[in-house]
Amino acid sequence: MSSPSSDMVRVYLQEIGRYPMLTADQEIAYGRQVQQMMAIEQRKNELAQQLKPCKKLCKALGTRFIF
C-alpha cells in the first residue's frame, strides 16, 4: 500500500510526463527572453521614477500629463 505523499508524487510525474521537455536551445532562448524582459521592466520602472516630478508639476499646473 502506498502512502498519500507517494500517490501525489506519482500523479505529479504523470502530469509532467504529458508535456515534452525543452531542448537545450529552447531553454537558452527562453532564458534570454526572460532576462531581456526583466531588463525592460527595470528600465521602465526607472523611467517612471524620473517622470514622477513631471506628473506632479502637471497636476499642480492643472495640465494633462500625456505619458
> Binning pLDDT at 50, 70 and 90, where does residue 8 land?
very high
Helix (H, G, I), strand (E, B) or coil at 64: coil
67 in a structural domain? no
Q: Cα–Cα distances in Å, from 44 out to 18, 27, 37, 41, 47?
A: 37, 26, 10, 5, 5
Please say if the pLDDT value at position 1 is more than 60: no
Whether residue 56 has pLDDT greater than 90? no
In a domain, 25, yes or no: yes
What domain range includes position 55? 4-61
Burial of residue 58 (CB within 10 Å: 0-12, 13-18, 19+) is: middle
Looking at residue 65, its pLDDT comes to 67
Count of structural domains, the chain: 1
57 belongs to a structural domain: yes
- Asked if the model's pLDDT at residue 51 lies above 90, the reply is no
pTM for the full model? 0.59
Residue 6 binned pLDDT confidence (cut-offs 50, 70, 90): confident
pLDDT score recorded for residue 67 = 60
